[in-house]
Amino acid sequence: MENLNASKAPLRRLRLGIIGGGEGSVIGRTHRAAALIDGRYDIVAGAFDIDPERGQRFARSLFVPEDRIYPDHRALIDGEAARNDGVDLVAVLTPNTTHYEIARDLVNAGQNVLCEKPLTTATKEAIELVRLSEERDLIFAVNYGYSGYPMVRHAKAMVAAGELGKIRVVQTEFAFGNPTTMTEDTTGHWRTKSTGAGPSAVVGMTGTHAIHLASFIIGSELAELSSDFTTFVPGRELEDNANINLRFEDGARGSLWASYVAAGANHGLRIRIHGEKAGLEWNQENPNDLAVMYPGGDKRILTRGNSQLHPAAKRATRIVTGQPEGFLEAVANIYTDVADVIDSRIQGFAPDPLALAYPNIRDGARGVRFVDAAVESAQRNGAWTSAGLDFPAS
Amino acid sequence: MENLNASKAPLRRLRLGIIGGGEGSVIGRTHRAAALIDGRYDIVAGAFDIDPERGQRFARSLFVPEDRIYPDHRALIDGEAARNDGVDLVAVLTPNTTHYEIARDLVNAGQNVLCEKPLTTATKEAIELVRLSEERDLIFAVNYGYSGYPMVRHAKAMVAAGELGKIRVVQTEFAFGNPTTMTEDTTGHWRTKSTGAGPSAVVGMTGTHAIHLASFIIGSELAELSSDFTTFVPGRELEDNANINLRFEDGARGSLWASYVAAGANHGLRIRIHGEKAGLEWNQENPNDLAVMYPGGDKRILTRGNSQLHPAAKRATRIVTGQPEGFLEAVANIYTDVADVIDSRIQGFAPDPLALAYPNIRDGARGVRFVDAAVESAQRNGAWTSAGLDFPAS
Amino acid sequence: MENLNASKAPLRRLRLGIIGGGEGSVIGRTHRAAALIDGRYDIVAGAFDIDPERGQRFARSLFVPEDRIYPDHRALIDGEAARNDGVDLVAVLTPNTTHYEIARDLVNAGQNVLCEKPLTTATKEAIELVRLSEERDLIFAVNYGYSGYPMVRHAKAMVAAGELGKIRVVQTEFAFGNPTTMTEDTTGHWRTKSTGAGPSAVVGMTGTHAIHLASFIIGSELAELSSDFTTFVPGRELEDNANINLRFEDGARGSLWASYVAAGANHGLRIRIHGEKAGLEWNQENPNDLAVMYPGGDKRILTRGNSQLHPAAKRATRIVTGQPEGFLEAVANIYTDVADVIDSRIQGFAPDPLALAYPNIRDGARGVRFVDAAVESAQRNGAWTSAGLDFPAS
Amino acid sequence: MENLNASKAPLRRLRLGIIGGGEGSVIGRTHRAAALIDGRYDIVAGAFDIDPERGQRFARSLFVPEDRIYPDHRALIDGEAARNDGVDLVAVLTPNTTHYEIARDLVNAGQNVLCEKPLTTATKEAIELVRLSEERDLIFAVNYGYSGYPMVRHAKAMVAAGELGKIRVVQTEFAFGNPTTMTEDTTGHWRTKSTGAGPSAVVGMTGTHAIHLASFIIGSELAELSSDFTTFVPGRELEDNANINLRFEDGARGSLWASYVAAGANHGLRIRIHGEKAGLEWNQENPNDLAVMYPGGDKRILTRGNSQLHPAAKRATRIVTGQPEGFLEAVANIYTDVADVIDSRIQGFAPDPLALAYPNIRDGARGVRFVDAAVESAQRNGAWTSAGLDFPAS
């Protein structure tokens, strides 16, 4: 029961190092909770801040051993390489524009990585990381954390089992609305500037999650898109609202709405998928439920923990139905997937195929490509633009 | 209380004639209920069916006097014109492609009209009807019935009062999913063929409602659009799914999803509007509630009948909060608006300005233009296409 | 389609007389809408107000013929009895304490009656009305209007078909909260005083609806109850909150919460029923949906108009799924049931058994007995008290 | 940010020992996740199973050091007492009937305790534990874990701040329905027998949570109750359904429904509270939202993470609004409260008053008394029975 998700009991807790995510970081807190909740990892090393002193202070508050508190990612790589008990996995939680360099160095040092999204801020860099990582056969996860929710896993399993029939329409959105003016803009301006966020603001921050979610569930990649970008809040450099029409490789159509100006919306990640035989709807703000609708009017609400769910959902579930799990548990499921795969390598057995559901580096690269394509289409006044990506032979 | 919506008590019930909407017609039943529920109309004349005998049988089942049962709309026009107690209003409930001719004849005879949407199946015809009707200063309503809901009226009043601030985003959809295959297609093939439906299927049937609703609430017309049409069900001639990006005249952006293939969705008319200060959401399947959201997380559910609502909503309300009203009452509000205006002319006073909220012939013409623009954009692979309309000087 | 609910087409519209429900009366407006919406009745006679002049003015606003505007119920009885085209049905919408006398006079004159609830304010009087009415074989309906909702009809049909298994638990409530203090008490003090309301305030006004609903659906009467009454708002004479534990004749248990002090609740009529095999939940504020829950976690939302519903629900449905119907339509279904039965007598055929679903005079008497029992139990500090009723042999 | 809930940074992670909660235990998994997620505890010692060998195997799977794996709670007490780095807190997760003895031994050894509910299965034993624990000034928490939810904390703060006015009505329920027959009864028969569950089954398992929740929020204890118990499933010894009317010390009234036979309900913990000024509703299955209703119809949905919430809610929040937290985080908040108080003692400062929100031993004793009173009232056919408790002077 404890090692619910492993094919074989782990020999030990895994050793986790963290780059970034220091004092005041929401994403840092999220990753630590996700790594710790199942007792699969110890946080043993870190370079938590661009300011080494502040990072050291923060590391001490986490009780990281003094000799494994590092000033930067290079020092961490070197220090851990020199130990017998070096880290098994490094989480990269730094600002977007630094992902590429840090991830490249980690990969070149043969390190397994769990990187925040976006993988990089340019497609070319992303492709290079795919090549480097796959050449070394490393584990490289990208934290599209919403795909860790049990009911998302169930939705994917339903589609894969043909329960919806051929998929026709995918409607998705990730639109929130705090703050809605520049003065209220307490989430930090860097997310709305090209120097901080790269070529896109809201599409790169929220839209890419929605697209990953869509492809994850329907099992088909985005083929092309037509986007309309707007900047509503005066003083912002990049788009804060985007309406994007979608065409998937398997013929499904749909749309994405990504927004920072959906005034009053708390979070706003939602997806609806309709196939020939049935439709489904999932809303991240009530993630324990999944609605499945059938022609004729039969609408069913499935709930995490229900006995009739697919194994992929059950595997990602800790507690009984009706006692909700949340976002931290979703991200924890990504960490647990990765732990299972790392552990299977340590012990030399084949990993549980269900553990391979974690978003990997190819998913990360596709996400970068999607953002680039959306920017390009918007610049061309909505001309349909390919979002496809040719990977190196693996 | 009884004549809640009139500035002055009516002198008599109004006399309603009906063209179409005979045996088995859902829309016929809807209009009769809407006309009768408030005791403002008697149904005194009709040409209910293209088959005069069947129409006569049906008219008798409604207890229409024998001498006012007509074989077709021309006979009705002539017969009623010859009477002192001729009809005050004629409802046109026939198939789309016949609207133009019937409406034109009625208008030329000086008759007030309440026509089902779409007004016509071509923009040019719609413009002509606008001209003819306005020259004669007739009352001509087009049944965008969803705009009759009290909470839609309240939403419009909120926007007009500046409670949402400048509008930025409009997301709307009207997507249902029964049936989802050709074999199951029990709603009749004519809706999916150009001979029956005109140039568009689902956009003309459902999409145009959603666009009227959007413009009605935000008080701004659609400027241009970019559409993507798909036909999923084999054997259908016209589109059964459309994703359309929207740009409104006041700068708002948004999207529309119109679909016949949203498998399992019952009805699927929903709208969300976000301004600088707040957002709102309304779902036709639960029409007595309106959600209003404010940055910072305050989400309020307003309910039909609540004391704090705008007069435009209260005026459209019959019973106390918590005892729901539905679609028939929404359409009844259109009928009552029209009755108030007709009655004000009979008695010679200025109508209640709130009664003028009913969708008029210009709204009808704009709806036709929207459908034409959506078809054109889809044919041009999503190129942005003007949806604007120049009306004759009135 | 039009005369959806009749086994045979009606020969004519029925003639309806109304006692009470005049100017400003919410219940009056409700009944008129319910009677008119389906075109089955004309309102041809009335004594609408205790003040004959005001009643006359109001009757004229409804366009009732001058010679059928009466000063009181006795005049109406006499006047209509003298006509060949006398009324087929009389609706009694006066204050509670007058129901008995008016209903008795109507019954003694051989008139069919549709009386607002409560039937009377004392069990003994109710029993007498049952006897008188049944001796004359009259149609006598009592307006427990919530039982007219299609999804309530479906719920009843599900239980009758054994789809829930033996019923175990019935949880119901009718609790609203406007106003919550005496000063705010704009609904009128008479409802909170024994001179106006009889022996009970909120239990007689709302609780009796909930109990009828429960018995209607489960097909078993209330056997005994244990009640706790409280008066929270200073200055009120009668209870404004009641918690009542329930035992039904078939062994089901449950509870009722009736309240005027549920601050902020709009209406608050809700019922949940759990049997051996499944449970169901219905909330009057969203009446088009019915939730059905199965062990293991399958929860289904059924919607009015869905193809899989029982005939009893379909019969009570006017428009397609997803276009909601509301409370007026529910009461209209009671009127239509009654019309079908009256019409079957006029034409001499057996009525559609489904039309007999309307709440009859025995249901009305049971409701009066329930209120008396609840008062008695509260006076005895919650001692279990029989709510059963022995009817005269019929 | 990390040590969000402490007035001062902790000097070290606390050392947690666990009794019970071994292989296959749902409650064991819950506690471990709750203790680990915030990085405030290490699980360093345990006696996880009544079978020492199985317990040892399980302890190894958690990587507990060999020398701190104990065969039973007495060995743990002795072993940890002999160490300089002995445990700071012991969690008791064994079957109900063993709580008293284990807790007594721990308290007598001067150990801080976090015990699963019910504290004991008899009021007298509970009172003794209160006395022993308070004499030694120990920290003794009882896991009424639902009170750890941020929106429950906010509800309590609203009431304390007078935002609802004087409380009038409390309606609560904890009713689920899997399984609903004996054959399906996979949750184990011991919960339905007196030898395992003590004098009550469902009231002791779920009802006591609902009553704690009610008192926690309204700040008033239960004074007396009137209960109706039923055993629906053949073969069960104890009640599986209870309807209980409630009277609180401050004059509030209400009811509790506790059930194992609410067929199809997933979990079913819900509470509604109405005061003079407003009402609120919270449903554990969607715990991130709290509905607040005001007379006149303003209904507001507050969400965890919103800026306007009380500090007590913010303190219990890890991630941003719209990314849900769940039950494990609620229990983690209990663990963090306790950690803050233990840490304040270690470091010698006064604890954050908000940390004292955790359910303490008096709450535990009151819960035991409630169950005894409910059983007694049911045996007396619903006679009102005192649920009050006289504590020793502290």
Closest chain A residue to the Cα of C322, Cα to Cα: A297
Contact of A284 with A267, CB cutoff 8 Å: yes
Query: In the structure, what pLDDT confidence band is assigned to residue A3 with cuts at 50, 70 and 90?
Result: very low
Query: In the structure, what pLDDT confidence band is assigned to residue D189 with cuts at 50, 70 and 90?
Result: low
**Chain A hits for C294, Cβ within 8 Å:** none
pLDDT at D183: 47
Torsion angle, CA of D290/D294/D298/D299, rounded to 10 degrees?
20
Which has the minimum average pLDDT: A178-187, A274-283, D194-203?
Answer: A178-187
Phi, psi of C227 (to 5 degrees): -120, 150
Residue A200: count other Cβ atoms within 10 Å of its Cβ: 25
Please write the tens of the pLDDT for every residue from B175-194: 988 655 544 454 455 677 78
Query: In the structure, what pLDDT confidence band is assigned to residue D7 with cuts at 50, 70 and 90?
Result: low
Task: Provide the residue-wise pLDDT of chain C in tens; the chain has 394 residues.
Answer: 344 444 578 999 999 999 999 999 999 999 999 999 999 999 999 999 999 999 999 999 999 999 999 999 999 999 999 999 999 999 999 989 999 999 999 999 999 999 999 999 999 999 999 999 999 999 999 999 999 999 999 999 999 999 999 999 999 999 988 655 544 454 555 677 788 788 999 999 999 999 999 999 999 999 999 999 999 998 888 999 999 999 999 999 999 999 999 999 988 999 999 999 999 999 999 999 999 999 887 899 999 998 889 999 999 999 988 999 999 999 999 999 999 999 999 999 999 999 999 999 999 999 999 999 999 999 999 999 999 998 876 5
Record: contact B277-A173, CB cut-off 8 A: no
Mean pLDDT value across residues D75-92: 98
- Closest CA of chain A from D33, distance in Å: 5
Record: contact C39-B36, CB cut-off 8 A: yes
**How big is the B-C interface in CB pairs under 8 Å?**
141
pTM of the model: 0.96
**Chain D hits for A32, Cβ within 8 Å:** 2, 39
Tokens of B151: 């909470």
Query: In the structure, what pLDDT confidence band is assigned to residue D197 with cuts at 50, 70 and 90?
Result: confident
B305 near C CB under 8 A = yes
Average pLDDT, chain D: 93
Tokens of B107: 């208008």
Chain C neighbours among B 146-185 (CB < 8 Å)? Answer: 176, 178
Contacts of C223 (CB under 8 A, 6+ apart): C247, C248, C249, C386, C387, C388
Subunit partners of chain B (3 or more CB pairs within 8 A): A, C, D
**Chain B hits for A297, Cβ within 8 Å:** 178, 264, 266
Mean pLDDT value across residues A306-332: 94
**Half-sphere exposure at residue B184, Cβ-oriented, CA atoms within 13 angstroms:** 16
Please write the tens of the pLDDT for every residue from B115-124: 999 999 999 9
Q: b/e per residue, B96-125, with b = 16+ CB within 10 A?
A: bbbbbebbbebbebebbbbbbbbbbbbbeb
pLDDT at B172: 98
SS3 A108: helix
Q: How many residues does chain A have?
A: 394
Which helix (H) or strand (E) segment is C174 a member of? Answer: strand C167-175
Mean pLDDT value across residues D109-134: 96
pLDDT at B263 over 90: yes
DSSP state letter for C322: T
Question: Which residue in B2, B37, B176 is closest to C328 by CB distance?
Answer: B37
β-pairing, B89-93 vs B14-20, is parallel
**Chain B hits for D305, Cβ within 8 Å:** 297
β-pairing, B167-175 vs D298-303, is unpaired
- Closest CA of chain D from B318, distance in Å: 17
Residue B186: count other Cβ atoms within 10 Å of its Cβ: 9
D383 near B CB under 8 A = no
Record: contact C241-D168, CB cut-off 8 A: yes
C343 near B CB under 8 A = no
Question: Which residue in C173, C263, C274 is closest to D177 by CB distance?
Answer: C274
Q: b/e per residue, C182-206, with b = 16+ CB within 10 A?
A: eeebeeeeebbeeebbbbbbbbbbb
DSSP state letter for A295: T
pLDDT at A156: 98
Gap between the Cα atoms of C40 and B73, Å rounded? 26
Nearest C-alpha neighbor of D163 from the set C264, C265, C19, A353: C264
Best mutation target, C180, C186, C282, C381, to test chain D (most D CBs within 10 A): C180
**Angle in degrees, CA B304, B306, B307, rounded to 5:** 140
pLDDT at B266: 87
pLDDT at B328 over 80: yes
Q: What is the CA radius of gyration of chain A?
A: 21
Amino acid at B136: R
D216 near A CB under 8 A = no
**Chain A hits for D324, Cβ within 8 Å:** 284-287, 324, 326-327
Q: b/e per residue, A344-362, with b = 16+ CB within 10 A?
A: beeeeeebbebbebbbbbb
- Looking at chain D, the number of H-run helices and the number of E-run strands are 12, 14
A323 near D CB under 8 A = yes
Question: Which residue in D61, D287, D321 is closest to A266 by CB distance?
Answer: D321
Nearest C-alpha neighbor of A369 from the set A389, A339, A392: A389
Best mutation target, A224, A245, A246, to test chain B (most B CBs within 10 A): A245
Tokens of A62: 């986490």
Record: contact C301-A305, CB cut-off 8 A: no
Contacts of C152 (CB under 8 A, 6+ apart): C146, C213, C216, C217, C282, C287, C330
C318 near B CB under 8 A = yes
Supply the DSSP string of B211-270, one letter for each residue.
Answer: HHHHHHHHT--EEEEEEEEE--STT-SS-SEEEEEEEETTS-EEEEEEES--TT-S--EE
**Chain D hits for C275, Cβ within 8 Å:** 263
Residue B225 burial by CB count (10 A; 0-12/13-18/19+): exposed, middle or buried?
buried
Record: contact A268-D322, CB cut-off 8 A: yes
Best mutation target, A202, A236, A257, A377, to test chain B (most B CBs within 10 A): A257
pLDDT at A394 over 90: no
Query: In the structure, what pLDDT confidence band is assigned to residue B3 with cuts at 50, 70 and 90?
Result: very low
Gap between the Cα atoms of A322 and B203, Å rounded? 41
Closest chain D residue to the Cα of A284, Cα to Cα: D323
Query: In the structure, what pLDDT confidence band is assigned to residue D307 with cuts at 50, 70 and 90?
Result: confident
Best mutation target, C3, C37, C54, to test chain B (most B CBs within 10 A): C37
Query: In the structure, what pLDDT confidence band is assigned to residue D3 with cuts at 50, 70 and 90?
Result: very low
Contact of C223 with D254, CB cutoff 8 Å: no
- Closest CA of chain B from A276, distance in Å: 6
pLDDT at A180: 54
Subunit partners of chain D (3 or more CB pairs within 8 A): A, B, C
Best mutation target, D299, D308, D310, to test chain B (most B CBs within 10 A): D299
pLDDT at B380: 98
Query: In the structure, what pLDDT confidence band is assigned to residue A375 with cuts at 50, 70 and 90?
Result: very high
DSSP state letter for B69: B
Best mutation target, D319, D331, D333, to test chain A (most A CBs within 10 A): D319
Mean pLDDT value across residues A328-357: 96
pLDDT at C106: 98
Closest chain A residue to the Cα of D36, Cα to Cα: A37
Contact of C150 with C318, CB cutoff 8 Å: no
Question: Which residue in B39, B266, B287 is closest to C303 by CB distance?
Answer: B266
- The residues pairing with C182 across neighbouring beta strands, listed in sequence order, are none
Mean pLDDT value across residues B313-328: 94
Tokens of A376: 């390009």
Nearest C-alpha neighbor of B277 from the set B298, B263, B294, B253: B294
A303 near D CB under 8 A = yes
